[in-house]
């Protein structure tokens, strides 16, 4: 008999978590103005709000922290990190930042000016925020197939090459660079194929435009290339990442994802011009060039995290857990973005809460219901997150309205996945009785989902 699959690690330290009653949760969610970001974490049983900075570091990473060099300038930890990043990407210029959005802030301060257009696959919310905050435009050129959550395709995160070509044909003088997000978080954690990265590069070359990868989950993307794309089965993850980045000029990275650290990020590039242009903004916003926004110990832990998470076994353990949860949901016929993404399940709220009008935010309503059901905290990736159109100030109801269940790396067991699946099934079973959603009572002009205040719609 073939041995079943199991984790590629064992547990050395545990953190107790506590359940609560539905009665308690009804009080708490009201106090949080029906915004799950506003809940104290102690009021959450299983926390799936994000996979960002919530992973469990390994014993090797903790050991590396003890060896951190906290020198202000030229710390050995910086050179450890630089060496690891260069070996995975081929990029020689590195700027550490305190997290991914800080990398965007530093680099975009140099690259983007008012009126610019930045085409790419779906822009992540902070990326969009840093573009629109500079009065520039994020132009979504994701393949149309990504909008159909039930279509089983291997690379639904891809850039539509015809859309990209059209954008460049019409606006090339306003385009400072092309951005490709790997994996495509907003479209459901869907990967981008190497073939697509290559084609983006060809279009970019034709218009002499640089290409930037928003790389938060580049290792998971490489896992999907290895397991789904013809010709890569026998390549190592590190060989694949090297090839992926050969089609880019630089990257911004939220190290809180595939770096498996709790805080950190960086810019890496092969272009001396980008480095020279951005480095002043690093000093202004983050810190001196060899630490940017990071402690020496954290740079050390990140160097090890990047090494570990570009090994197949570690990635397989993670992605198989996400797929395990997907199989449990399949058994209950719960619709989610197919196939399961790398870091999360994106439940299709519009297909479940069909009685809740879109003006009352079905995905947010589903997130609240799941919390009330079992103390599980997911995250709306939908109409609230989409913000308002900067020119018309209308809500953007054109895209998907999803409930994201993000799975932290190396944190929960498959027993937790079983709890999540059954809790969602219980909500699904009473979906017809959920008639009303929520309405906004206060919102910020940008990235409103973090602080929005809601109340039940009447």
Ligand X SMILES: *Cc1c(COP(=O)(O)O)cnc(C)c1O
Which residues are tagged catalytic?
72, 124-125, 214, 216, 257, 449
The one among 69, 214, 229, 286 contacting ligand X by CB under 6 A? 214
Q: How far is the CB of 42 from ligand X (least distance, A)?
A: 22
Query: Which residue is nearest to ligand X, using beta carbons?
Result: 100
Cα distance between residue 434 and residue 367, in whole Å = 13
Size of the site for ligand X (CB under 6 A): 15
126 binds ligand X (CB under 6 A): yes
221 binds ligand X (CB under 6 A): no
3-state DSSP assignment of residue 67? coil
**Of 5-13, 35-43, 120-128, 323-331: span binding ligand X (CB under 6 A):** 120-128
**Of 123-131, 242-250, 290-298, 314-322: span binding ligand X (CB under 6 A):** 123-131
381 binds ligand X (CB under 6 A): no
* Residue bearing tokens 């506590």: 18
101 binds ligand X (CB under 6 A): yes
Judged by CB under 6 A, the chain residues 51 through 90 that form the site for ligand X are 52
Q: How far is the CB of 332 from ligand X (least distance, A)?
A: 28
* Residue bearing tokens 């109801």: 397
Q: How far is the CB of 222 from ligand X (least distance, A)?
A: 15
**Of 121-129, 311-319, 362-370, 400-408: span binding ligand X (CB under 6 A):** 121-129
Residue 419 has which token pair?
């709890």
Cα distance between residue 366 and residue 352, in whole Å = 9
Q: Which residues are registered as beta bridge partners of 96?
A: 266
Q: How far is the CB of 216 from ligand X (least distance, A)?
A: 4
Rg (CA), the chain: 21
127 binds ligand X (CB under 6 A): yes
Q: Which is nearer to ligand X, 49 or 356 (CB)?
A: 49
Contacts of 162 (CB under 8 A, 6+ apart): none
The one among 58, 254, 310, 365 contacting ligand X by CB under 6 A? 254
216 binds ligand X (CB under 6 A): yes
Q: Which is nearer to ligand X, 112 or 423 (CB)?
A: 112
Pairing of strands 376-377, 46-47: parallel
* Residue bearing tokens 């469990």: 56
The one among 256, 297, 318, 338 contacting ligand X by CB under 6 A? 256
Total residues belonging to the chain: 458
Compute CA distances 136 → 43, 169, 181, 288, 448, whole Å: 39, 18, 18, 28, 18
CA dihedral over 369, 455, 344, 350, signed as positive or negative: positive
Cα distance between residue 454 and residue 384, in whole Å = 11
Cα distance between residue 198 and residue 218, in whole Å = 15
336 binds ligand X (CB under 6 A): no
185 binds ligand X (CB under 6 A): yes
**Nearest Cα to Cα of residue 130 among 159, 100, 158, 97:** 100
Torsion angles phi and psi, residue 221, rounded to 5: -60, -40
Q: Which is nearer to ligand X, 214 or 249 (CB)?
A: 214
Q: How far is the CB of 285 from ligand X (least distance, A)?
A: 13
265 binds ligand X (CB under 6 A): yes
Could you list the residues that contact ligand X (CB under 6 A)? Answer: 52, 99-101, 124, 126-127, 181, 185, 214, 216, 254, 256-257, 265
């Amino acid at each position: 008999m073939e041995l079943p699959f199991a984790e590629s690690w064992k547990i050395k330290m545990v953190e107790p978590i506590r359940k609560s009653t539905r009665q308690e949760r009804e009080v708490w969610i009201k106090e949080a103005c029906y915004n799950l970001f506003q809940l104290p974490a102690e009021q959450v049983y299983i926390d799936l709000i994000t996979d960002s900075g919530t992973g469990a570091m390994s014993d090797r990473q903790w050991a590396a922290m003890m060896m951190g060099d906290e020198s202000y300038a030229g710390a050995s930890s910086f050179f450890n990190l630089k060496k690891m990043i260069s070996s995975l990407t081929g990029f020689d210029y590195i700027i550490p930042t305190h997290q991914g959005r800080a990398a965007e802030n530093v680099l975009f301060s140099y690259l983007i000016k008012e009126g610019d257009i930045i085409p790419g696959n779906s822009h992540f919310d902070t990326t969009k925020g840093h573009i629109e905050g500079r009065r520039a435009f994020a132009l979504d050129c994701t393949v149309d197939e990504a909008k159909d959550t039930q279509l089983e395709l291997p690379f639904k995160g891809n850039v539509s090459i015809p859309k990209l070509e059209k954008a460049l044909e019409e606006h090339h003088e306003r385009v400072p660079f092309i951005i490709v997000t790997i994996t495509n978080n907003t479209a459901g954690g869907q990967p981008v194929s190497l073939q697509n990265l290559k084609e983006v590069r060809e279009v970019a070359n034709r218009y002499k435009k640089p290409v930037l990868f928003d790389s938060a989950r580049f290792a998971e993307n490489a896992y999907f290339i290895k397991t789904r794309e013809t010709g890569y089965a026998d390549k190592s993850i590190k060989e694949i990442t090297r090839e992926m980045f050969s089609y880019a000029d630089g990257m911004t990275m939220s190290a809180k994802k595939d770096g498996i650290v709790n805080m950190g990020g960086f810019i890496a590039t092969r272009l001396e011009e980008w480095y020279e242009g951005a480095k002043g903004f690093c000093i202004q916003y983050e810190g001196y060039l060899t630490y940017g926004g990071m402690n020496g110990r954290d740079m050390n832990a990140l160097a090890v995290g990047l090494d570990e998470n570009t090994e197949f076994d570690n990635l397989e353990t993670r992605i198989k857990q996400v797929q395990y949860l997907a199989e449990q949901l399949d058994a209950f016929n719960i619709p989610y973005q197919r196939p399961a993404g790398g870091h999360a399940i994106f439940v299709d709220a519009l297909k479940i809460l069909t009685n809740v009008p879109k003006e009352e935010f079905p995905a947010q309503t589903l997130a609240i219901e799941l919390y009330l059901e079992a103390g599980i905290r997911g995250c709306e990736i939908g109409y609230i997150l989409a913000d308002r159109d900067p020119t018309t100030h209308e809500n953007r109801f054109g895209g998907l309205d999803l409930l994201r269940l993000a799975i932290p790396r190396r944190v929960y067991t498959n027993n937790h996945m079983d709890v999540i699946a059954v809790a969602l099934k219980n909500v699904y079973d009473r979906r017809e009785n959920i008639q009303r959603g929520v309405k906004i009572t206060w919102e910020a002009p940008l990235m409103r989902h973090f602080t929005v205040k809601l109340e039940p719609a009447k």
